Amino acid sequence: MLRDTRGFTLIELLIVVVIIGILAAIAIPQFASTKERAFDATAKSDLRNAMAAQEAYFADNQTYDPAAISTAGNFTTSTGITISVSTASAGGYSATASHSASSNNYWVEVGTGSTVEGKVQQN
């Protein structure tokens, strides 16, 4: 009597499951890293937009203002982003930005005598 040979053996199925497990173990940490980089890019982008709002305020008032981000009316932060502006005066300001899901912080100084004026830096 002939045996039906269609289908997979248990060993073949176990090998496929192990390979899928190995691929998942490699891919999941990469995905988490990519997610954090996306959060950081959003924080840096919002910080640059906040700089533009500060410059628009300065063009109208010849001074910088910590509240200029919210009073400019044309800037809102992305979800999860916190931006704080400090030391704003007629001479310049400094600002920081971070995302609630990332451990990285970013800052910028404009017109405060900084050697990195206007460049977004990571803390």
pLDDT computed for residue 23 by the predictor: 94
Environment class of residue 104 by beta-carbon count within 10 Å: exposed (0-12), middle (13-18) or buried (19+)?
middle
Q: List 108's β-bridge partners, or say none.
A: 95
Listed by start position, the domains of the chain span 10-122
Q: What are phi and psi of 4, to 5 degrees?
A: -75, 120
Per-residue pLDDT of 46-73, as tens digits, reads 988 888 888 888 888 888 887 777 665 5
**Number of residues that make up the chain:** 123
Closest CA to 84 of 74, 103, 102, 98: 98
pLDDT tens figures, 94-123: 888 999 988 889 988 888 666 666 778 787
How far apart are the C-alpha atoms of 77 and 83, rounded to whole Å? Answer: 8
